[in-house]
Amino acid sequence: MKTFEYMQPENIESASKFLTKNKDSIAFAGGTDLLGLMKDDIFSPKQLVNLKKIGDLNFIKYNENEGLRIGALTKLSEIENHNIVKEKYNVLYQSIYELATPQLKNIGTLGGNICQRPRCFYFRGDYDCIRKGGDTCFAITGHNKYHCIVGGDPCYIVHPSDTAVALVALNAKFKIFDGKNEKTIPAEEFFILPNVDETKENILNSGELLTEIIIPPINNNTVSSYIKVKERGAWDFALVSIAGVFNKNDNKITDGKIVFGGVAPSPWQDKKINDNLVSFNLTQENIKKLSSLAFEKTDVLEMNEYKVTLAKNLIIKLLLETFNI
């Protein structure tokens, strides 16, 4: 690991100034992802800006009218163990439960999990790939079992975050500080595809920081769930994951949203699936028909077509288990 300068700002304004002034600086939160990237010489920042002293970004607040607010520096374990999260935001609770070991969740932050870099072994290996500024995505003709089936061109990574999938399903909003002002955007607008910028996973620019996650209130007719399929039984990243948030009335979904992980460079929504959830009658036959509509257009690679079948089957599993059919 190369030498670097270590800054410890005590407020968000100072942190943003450090990040803006030095183009080779990187924000440091839990460090569970960044330190590995530095040890492997994927990144060699000249300056680390430690955010841990900024207490204003570590909180969980709930109000029945406003919903749930979580600071970006809040530990994943604190969110997972929070009674309101367990009681009302099951999809978020399950996504955190599934994402890592207890030790990592005691260190990792929600903001860090949302902003983590892809696990593509070409990106993290000794390859001058397109995401590191090269001109080639080696996954296209290489080992691509774990890569995306939609939204990939020209870089076929998948977004690694479990919580991001759940938060998009929950219609969460993200608050971003740019050094002077704050703006709030829908979570789904935070993530970008490679055709927008093949070197980034989100819209953050130099000096900008994710500060807060805002999740709308959940009513008594809302149910949610998260399912993650991994290659091994130990803690692992998703082959495919699925998050669902539904408003129900008797045996009918009045409206809802399904979001996929592990299939695209960002949390992925299939518009046809979500459009068909409006006034959806919950029968096994209807659920199978709904599943058949998913991923009609894909850009599968040589080794990952199995993800299409897996994602379709996860729709069936999600609805059958969530509604005890």
The number of angstroms, rounded, from the C-alpha of 200 to the middle of its chain's C-alpha atoms is: 14
- Angle, CA of 29, 260 and 297, to the nearest 5°: 130
CATH number at residue 232: 3.30.390.50
Residues 172, 276, single domain; the answer is: no
Residue 89 C-alpha from the chain's centroid: 16
| CA separation for the pair 295, 259 (Å, rounded) | 12
Range(s) of the domain holding residue 71:
57-115+162-215
Query: Three-class SS of residue 136?
Result: strand
The mean pLDDT value for 32-49 works out to 91
Model confidence, pTM: 0.97
pLDDT given at position 261: 98
Residue 235 sits in the same domain as residue 280:
yes
User: Which pLDDT band, with edges at 50, 70 and 90, does 222 fall under?
Assistant: very high
Residue 132 in tokens: 């590191």
Considering the domain architecture, whether residues 206 and 226 belong to the same structural domain is answered as no
pLDDT band, residue 2 (cuts 50/70/90):
confident
Q: What is the pLDDT of residue 1?
A: 76
Residue pair 259/269 in contact (Cβ under 8 Å)? The answer is yes
Residue of 279, 257, 287 lying closest to 269 (CA atoms): 257
pLDDT at residue 232 in the model: 86
Rounded-to-integer distance, Cα 130 and Cα 143, Å: 16
Q: Where are the beta strands (DSSP E) in the chain?
A: 5-7, 25-28, 47-50, 60-63, 67-71, 173-177, 182-186, 209-215, 222-229, 240-249, 252-261, 280-281
Average pLDDT over residues 54-82: 97
* Structural domain count, the chain: 2
Q: Is residue 24 part of a domain?
A: no
